[in-house]
Structure 1
Amino acid sequence: MRRGIAAAVAVTAFTISASACSSDSSGSDNAGPVTITWWDTSDATNEAGTYKALVKEFEKANPDIKVKYVNVPFGDAQTKFQTAAGSKGAPDVLRADVGWTPGFAKSGFLTPLDGTPAATEADKFEKNLIEQAAYEDKLYGVPQVTDTLGLMYNRELFTEAGIKEPPATWADLKADMATIKEKTGVDGFAFNPQAYYVMPFLFGENTDMVDARDQKITLNSPAAVEGVDTLNDLLKAPGVRKLDTTSNAYANIMDAFSSGKVAAIVQGPWENANVFKGSAFKDKENLGIAPVPAGSKGQGAPLGGHNLVAYAGSDEAHQKASQKFIAFMTSAASQEKVAVTNGTLPTRKDAYSVKVVSNPGIDGYEDLLAGGVPRQPLPEYSSLYTPLETHLIKIISGQEDTAGGLDKAAAEAKRLLPDYSTS
């Protein structure tokens, strides 16, 4: 998962130029190297350079394969790929959010990777991440990077406020916010009002947006109401930063935390590199990483990340080249380089080398992965974030009451899942 979850599920039409897509005929008649196209959805400023360098390494090791690298903004990529795949012009390989994989597979856009060179080391990967890359018992992606949400906190500010341990529950965080504000003058906590960041509040009440096994929408269940009420209560407490619902909310919150104007946020490891650029974290050891606080029924955070998937519309030569490329990009050596340079989490245990875990951000989040809640294997799952976010903002802004707002969100979810019942 990454910046702007809501943008990842927006439905907007885009036209893709043929030059950016696959179906390059080079190599199909054995006249020369095969050229495959890869759409990379990583951050163009802070992450893409590492992947471009790996592409060059791959081409050097595989002179019969050329890779056409295209960086596609994450917020646009889902719809762009759907449009391109529907017209048989998609890239050979896509860096896909884990939430997109089931939907693309159901639509027939992806080719299974079981038994191919791309998946020969599948047993090296975290088991729950492989599960997230599968749909209907077939593997459609290989996990490239992973993430989960944790509580990022400023150790120096916590110490200055006399707080020795990170909060274990939302009630603890509520108390700590007030103490930090009183003792340091700094806001204790800031919340990003996107649906993805409310998931720990739902998991803390042992619920989710939907129950795919029982075919039931649970967005408006009593447990979900309790979870959102917990969040709403927290946001009204002393020491919380004023709620930001502008289009720049995400960047504003990150700037405030990185510069030491906010003591704690709920965030993922994809922001490690940016955080360490901030004035408050010149000493990387000042960054604390803890599990998201627990609700009344327990603790949990969404497990996210990105898979490398292969387009089903490519010919045999491009499929084979794509499989080699996916294997290379998800190898332990490649993942180690990405982790060291970009500060993101590897998806396989053998990539957590001494160099990788020397980054306190990675070391901290690695410990949280075991508690991550896998995405349900439902093609429409990611689309459920849209109605949840629409009404979440209205609820925490005081425009709707919790139960009424979640009832509306569930009704909108019902349009996506007409065969599902609601709470």
Structure 2
Amino acid sequence: MRIKGIRGISGVALVGALALTVGACGSDGGSSDSSGKKAAEDPQSVSGSITWWDTSNEAEGPTYDKLVKQFQAEYPKIKVQRTPVSFDQAEQKFKTAAQNGKGAPDVIRTDVGWSAGFANLGYLQPLDGTPALDNPGDFMEGPLSTAKWKGETVGVPQVTDTLGLLYNKEIFAKAGITKPPATWDEFVATAKTIKQKTGVAGTQLNPEGYFSLPFLYGSGADMLDVEGKKITVNSPEAVKGMETAVELTKGDVALKPASTDGYVAAQTSFKDGKVAMVINGPWSVSDDYSGKAFKDKANLGIANIPAGPSGKAAAPIGGHNYSVYRGSKNKDAAYLFVKFMASAKSQELTAKEINTLPTRKSAYTPAVTADPAKKAFQQALTIAKSRPVIPGVGDLFVAFDQHYVKILRGDKSPKDGLDGLAKEWKDKLLKDYEIGG
């Protein structure tokens, strides 16, 4: 998942979503039994056709086609239509189809940031107690938390990701550094040492709000207090975390963050060997290996996000879930399909073939963890945390990106920038929240 995957429903839709109830959409499907009793007690008797909207990329399609064929071989009475849907269009397309009651799929692969919005509109079937949510204790706590809404599980974690510290081992060795920094203070010191001893910039920050979250989390801050209905992105702790990020833009120890295409700029600098460290996710590893700095894959180091003044380290969780449309006419077949696709066996296959990170603990088999990158990000996931689970969480990052780049480039102080962000959220998106910072 790259960062665009966090985008949520529009601000207008967010306000509307908060005013709707489950019953308002009228999409429960009438004759469809939602209990999953037949699928649980006599799965081989389940028949019919279902449609799955697959929002993965084109390169991953053959692997998912393989899994669909395996499912149909196990359940020959069920036909599955895998329909590729552009990720950038899928969220709005699903909402339109579900609202109209026509054309919505039985199963959809949703970004974790969409689940709360869809569920709040009444479009997702609760899966607790159904065959779809098979062996829930085997899922990592973080990914499973992204699939819950108001005490119900509305998705089954498919793949997951988080942020880690990626570094160039060769540059570290030239600077006499033997291990990656464990705290943000050490990160700053490491960047300065690398610049002084090698001439290479220590780091380059991605100026997108999502990538600022490890700095906030490390200071004990968060974007929101959802339960208390408070905006906390401008709390003293958050300001302290942002000051750490700003320190990395001062002097000549780091390349200045780009004001446009910041992700691409930082990624290109890293894989070309122009910076020693970046904060990025597992989706970047294949691209890293394509750069001249990592022709020897063993040169890529991956470590957990450094800890902040709070003594804790954390990074946001991304990924995708399988969800069942509440209006599906064949929920039994949909439950069995989700169960199969989210099984440890299926997750192991996708991890090996298309480099996804499993959400099930048992899917981290020796064949999967033999890949050092997957093993490292498995460890990184142990300190990951969910972003606020609210409808339209992705929209918060539209303004966050704008304010964060101003902070990093010195146009706004951390306090003024975060105060402005909090006010914009309050005025435009979170009108029922108070600013608690």
The TM-score with structure 2 as length reference comes to 0.85
Which of 328, 339, 349 is matched with 2:361 structurally? 349
Conserved in 2, the CA contact under 8 Å of 1:272 and 1:344? no
Alignment of 1:362-381 (within 5 A): 362-381=374-393
Q: Distance in 1 between matches of 2:294 and 2:413?
A: 39
Per the alignment, residue 27 of structure 1 pairs with none
Which of 419, 422, 426 is matched with 1:410 structurally? 422
In the TM superposition, what is the alpha-carbon distance from 1:12 to its structure 2 partner? Answer: 10
Structure 1 residues 161 and 75, CA gap change in structure 2 (3 angstroms): farther
AA partner of residue 144 (structure 2): I
Per the alignment, residue 2 of structure 2 pairs with 2
What secondary structure sits across from 2:79 in the alignment?
strand
AA partner of residue 291 (structure 2): G
Determine if the alignment matches structure 1 residue 155 to structure 2 residue 169: yes
Determine if the alignment matches structure 1 residue 322 to structure 2 residue 320: no
Which of 331, 346, 371 is matched with 1:334 structurally? 346
Gaps of 5+ in 1: 14-22, 24-31
Which of 83, 88, 93 is matched with 1:70 structurally? 83
Alignment of 1:23-422 (within 5 A): 34-45=48-59, 47-88=60-101, 89-246=103-260, 248-297=261-310, 298-315=312-329, 317=330, 319-414=331-426, 415-422=428-435
Per the alignment, residue 19 of structure 1 pairs with none
What secondary structure sits across from 2:212 in the alignment?
helix
Partner deviation per Cα, 1:34-93 (whole Å, 9 max, x = no partner): 332222222333x33322322232233333233322333333332332233222232222
RMSD of aligned C-alpha atoms? Answer: 2.3
Q: Distance in 1 between matches of 2:142 and 2:6?
A: 24
Q: Distance in 2 between matches of 1:342 and 1:37?
A: 23
Structure 1 residues 9 and 281, CA gap change in structure 2 (3 angstroms): farther
AA partner of residue 289 (structure 1): I
Conserved in 2, the CA contact under 8 Å of 1:10 and 1:79? no
What secondary structure sits across from 1:188 in the alignment?
strand
Conserved in 1, the CA contact under 8 Å of 2:147 and 2:154? yes
Structure 1 residues 197 and 357, CA gap change in structure 2 (3 angstroms): same
Q: Distance in 2 between matches of 1:133 and 1:386?
A: 22
Conserved in 1, the CA contact under 8 Å of 2:165 and 2:303? yes
Conserved in 1, the CA contact under 8 Å of 2:168 and 2:301? yes
Structure 1 residues 168 and 184, CA gap change in structure 2 (3 angstroms): same
Conserved in 2, the CA contact under 8 Å of 1:41 and 1:77? yes
What secondary structure sits across from 1:365 in the alignment?
helix
Partner deviation per Cα, 1:309-358 (whole Å, 9 max, x = no partner): 1111221x2x2222111111111111001111222211111111111001
Conserved in 1, the CA contact under 8 Å of 2:272 and 2:291? yes
Structure 1 residues 54 and 259, CA gap change in structure 2 (3 angstroms): farther
AA partner of residue 231 (structure 1): A
Q: Distance in 2 between matches of 1:80 and 1:152?
A: 36
AA partner of residue 326 (structure 1): V
Structure 1 window deviating more from structure 2 (398-407 vs 300-309): it is 398-407
The TM-score with structure 1 as length reference comes to 0.88
Partner deviation per Cα, 1:234-282 (whole Å, 9 max, x = no partner): 1224231231122x33233323323333221111112233323333333
In the TM superposition, what is the alpha-carbon distance from 1:175 to its structure 2 partner? Answer: 2.2
Instruction: Give % identity.
Output: 45
What secondary structure sits across from 2:358 in the alignment?
coil
What secondary structure sits across from 1:308 in the alignment?
strand
Partner deviation per Cα, 1:190-238 (whole Å, 9 max, x = no partner): 2111111010111011111100121110122222222212211212242
Q: Distance in 1 between matches of 2:236 and 2:272?
A: 38
Per the alignment, residue 17 of structure 1 pairs with none
Structure 1 residues 43 and 175, CA gap change in structure 2 (3 angstroms): farther
AA partner of residue 4 (structure 1): K
Partner deviation per Cα, 1:276-306 (whole Å, 9 max, x = no partner): 3333333332221111122211321112221
Gaps of 5+ in 2: 14-28, 30-45
AA partner of residue 375 (structure 2): D
